């Protein structure tokens, strides 16, 4: 058991979105020198074999950070309905995005840093922020302080930065699976024209049976999230024009040039190349529809996503507008 001058307390706050499952949000509290209450997904590192300190072998089984991360894994395991490690391994790809903030009184030791590395390997879509105090005797704090007597290494993270509240922090950005939502409100031009409205959503690289965008290459090919949304908007309008069935694309295209109204896309990232191509194809098919594409400023120029000529809004989002032909 890790020896320390005091109990190290940890708090882990999480907000996670999944593919095909409800969101998961909560808080976990743990303290060192207490037996783990849940699963044991992430193991400890032993003190190095050549370590000359008094303590050797496994010393960190009850460390607060390790316990908190394992309890979060336990919560995800239950949320995904798993009954075995094999099921857990096959289902954790459903974790789409989220944030995990782990605070502790002392920075993580070498063993807990290894646990956090393993957690990031399993959940690359999550952003993990580690915060800690590392208080020094006499006042102040430090990014790194020596481990307890007889223990190996340092508490903390070498490249952590100090925040305004004097906590030390290290952020490990995740790479979330992007999603987009499209809202449409359109009608067939002319007296007595039908009106159609709705909202659809898409998630990047999920199997999707294409209708118009892109041209079908497979029965359920993975699509960019924006392409999937544009395709489902077209499908939704078609289905509402002929309730109970979907018109064949060739027949549908005879009508859509007379449809006017608005479409708005709210994206978690700027549209990628496939998404921009789908928007361009939709504009060509629906020339009388106003289209607006909005996405966060932080995603404006990431991995060739977004529009170079988009306009930044007062709330920090970027907006690309495609006015309808008059």
Round to whole Å and give the CA distance between 8 and 30: 9
Instruction: Yes or no: say if 292 and 183 are a contact pair by the CB < 8 Å rule.
Output: no
- From residue 194, how far is each of 185, 186, 238, 254 by CA, in Å? 11, 9, 12, 15
Does residue 225 share a domain with residue 138? Answer: no
Regarding whether 202 and 316 lie in a shared domain, the answer is yes
Is 1 contained in some domain? Answer: no
pLDDT tens track, the chain, 326 positions: 444 457 899 999 999 999 999 999 999 999 988 877 777 889 888 888 877 777 776 767 789 999 999 999 999 999 999 999 999 999 999 999 999 999 999 999 999 999 999 999 999 999 999 999 999 988 889 999 998 877 888 999 999 999 999 999 999 999 999 999 999 999 988 777 889 999 999 999 999 989 998 876 666 788 899 999 999 999 999 998 888 777 898 889 888 888 999 999 999 999 999 999 999 999 999 999 999 999 997 655 567 899 989 999 999 899 999 999 87
pLDDT of res. 298:
63
* Shared-domain flag, residues 231 and 267: yes
Domain that holds residue 157: 9-172
Number of helices (H), then strands (E), belonging to the chain: the values are 6, 16
Q: Read out DSSP for 293-308?
A: EEEEGGGTTSTT-S-T
Domain match, 74 and 168 both? yes
Residue-level pLDDT at 222 = 87
pLDDT at 272: 92
Within a domain: residue 4? no
> In sequence order, which residues have a C-beta less than 8 Å from that of residue 307 and are 6 or more positions away?
270, 271, 276, 293, 318, 320
Task: Answer whether residue 268 is part of any domain.
Answer: yes
Q: Which of 172, 189, 221 is the last residue of a domain?
A: 172
63 with 199, same domain: the answer is no
Looking at the fold, whether 208 and 275 belong to one and the same domain comes out as yes
Same domain, 117 and 138: yes
Instruction: Give me the residue label for tokens 């031009």.
Output: 189
Residue 147 falls within a domain, yes or no?
A: yes
pLDDT of residue 193: 81
Domain tally, the chain: 2
Please give the pLDDT value at position 260.
94
Q: Are residues 149 and 219 in the same domain?
A: no
Q: Indicate whether 196 belongs to any domain.
A: yes
User: pTM value?
Assistant: 0.86
Domain annotation covers residue 216: yes
Distance of CA 137 to the CA centre of its chain: 39
- Looking at residue 65, what is its pLDDT? 94
Q: Which residues contact 138 (CB under 8 A, 6 or more apart)?
A: none
Read off the tokens for 82: 């798993």
What pLDDT, on a 0 to 100 scale, did the predictor assign at position 80?
97
Distance CA 317, CA 293 (A): 10
166 plus 214 within the same structural domain: no
pLDDT at 1: 40
Q: Which of these, 295, 263, 300, lies nearest to 279 by C-alpha position? A: 263
Are 296 and 194 members of one domain? Answer: yes
Whole-angstrom Cα distance, residue 153 to residue 52? 12
Question: What is the per-residue pLDDT for 2?
Answer: 44
The domain boundary residue, chosen from 142, 172, 202:
172
């Amino acid at each position: 058991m890790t020896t320390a001058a005091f109990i190290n307390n940890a708090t882990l706050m999480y907000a996670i979105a999944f593919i095909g499952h409800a969101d998961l949000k909560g808080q976990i509290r743990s303290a060192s020198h207490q037996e783990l209450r849940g699963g044991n997904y992430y193991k400890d590192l032993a003190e190095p074999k050549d370590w000359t300190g008094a303590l050797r072998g496994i010393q960190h089984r009850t460390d607060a950070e390790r316990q908190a991360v394992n309890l979060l894994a336990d919560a995800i395991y239950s949320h995904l309905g798993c009954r075995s490690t094999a099921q857990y391994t096959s289902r954790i790809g459903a974790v789409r995005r989220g944030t995990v903030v782990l605070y502790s009184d002392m920075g993580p030791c070498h063993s807990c840093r290894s646990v956090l590395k393993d957690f990031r390997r399993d959940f690359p879509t999550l952003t993990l922020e580690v915060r800690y105090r590392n208080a020094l005797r006499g006042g102040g704090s430090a990014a790194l302080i020596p481990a307890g007597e007889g223990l190996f290494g340092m508490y903390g993270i070498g490249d952590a930065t100090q925040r305004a509240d004097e906590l030390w922090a290290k952020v490990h950005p995740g790479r979330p699976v992007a999603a987009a939502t499209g809202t449409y409100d359109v009608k067939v031009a002319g007296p007595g024209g039908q009106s159609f409205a709705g909202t659809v959503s898409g998630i990047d690289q999920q199997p999707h049976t294409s209708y118009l965008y892109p041209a079908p290459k497979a029965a359920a090919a993975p699509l960019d999230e924006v392409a999937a949304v544009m395709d489902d908007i077209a499908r939704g309008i078609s289905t509402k024009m002929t309730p109970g069935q979907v018109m064949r694309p060739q027949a549908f295209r005879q009508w859509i040039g007379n449809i006017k109204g608005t479409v708005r896309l709210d994206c978690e990232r700027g549209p990628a190349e496939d998404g921009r191509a789908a928007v361009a194809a939709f504009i060509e098919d629906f020339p009388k529809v106003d289209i607006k594409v909005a996405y966060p400023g932080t995603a404006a120029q990431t991995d060739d996503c977004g529009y170079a000529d988009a306009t930044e809004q007062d709330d920090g989002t970027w907006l690309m507008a495609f006015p309808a032909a008059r």
